[in-house]
Amino acid sequence: MAPRAVKQRQSTFIERFTTNRRWWWVGGAGVLVLVAVLVWVWWPKPAEQPRERQYLDFTACLLTDEHGLSGPDAAPVWAGMQEASLATRAKVEYVAVTGPQTVPNALPFLSSLVQGRCDLVFAAGPVPVDAVREGASTFPKARFFVVGTSVQKPNVSTVEGKSPAEVQAAVKRILTSAVPTS
């Protein structure tokens, strides 16, 4: 083949490439795919989700009246328990007495907390405190803390505090000192 024929073939190819729109579409699509792949590869990774908290094998429980955690007696106790849990990694739970607000009705709720392996049981509200007064002797190895009134039992202590803030601080102090350090 003569050199002129080769040159003529090359110019024909270049002419077809520059005048044919299909080649521009294919080239543009290739560039878009390349950009998409690069963006996907270099896109910042999302922050790692926080893992669940590792708790100690220690549980403090709260027995409340029908108002649950929103009751005026229970709210500062629960706040103190949560603060202590954050500081010590102790588990905290609560159970509200449902149904009639009587001591006979509250006793099964108290029993479920003790049998559920609660290391400390706090009672807030008249009915829960009376349930501890009545049922504490049934569980001599359990440790109970009542808010507001004094109960004369060997395994029952009173949470001292004149204001909700003092009760909250006292509960935090009691729970923090009771949690074993390891």
Both structure tokens of 2: 């003569």
Nearest to 119 by CA among 67, 48, 55: 55
Helix (H) or strand (E) holding 96, with range, is: strand 91-96
Q: What is the pLDDT of residues 65-77, one digit of tens each?
A: 999 888 888 999 9
CATH superfamily of 59-178: Response regulator (3.40.50.2300)
What does the pLDDT read at residue 13? 59
Can you give the three-state secondary structure of 45-74, one letter per residue? CCCCCCCCCCCCCCEEEEEECCCHHHCCCH
Q: What is the reported pTM?
A: 0.69
Say how far residue 175 (Cα) sits from the centre of its chain: 19
Q: Where are the domains of the chain?
A: 3-42, 59-178
Nearest to 98 by CA among 139, 127, 75: 127
- Per the document, the length of the chain is 182
Residue 10 pLDDT greater than 60, yes or no: no
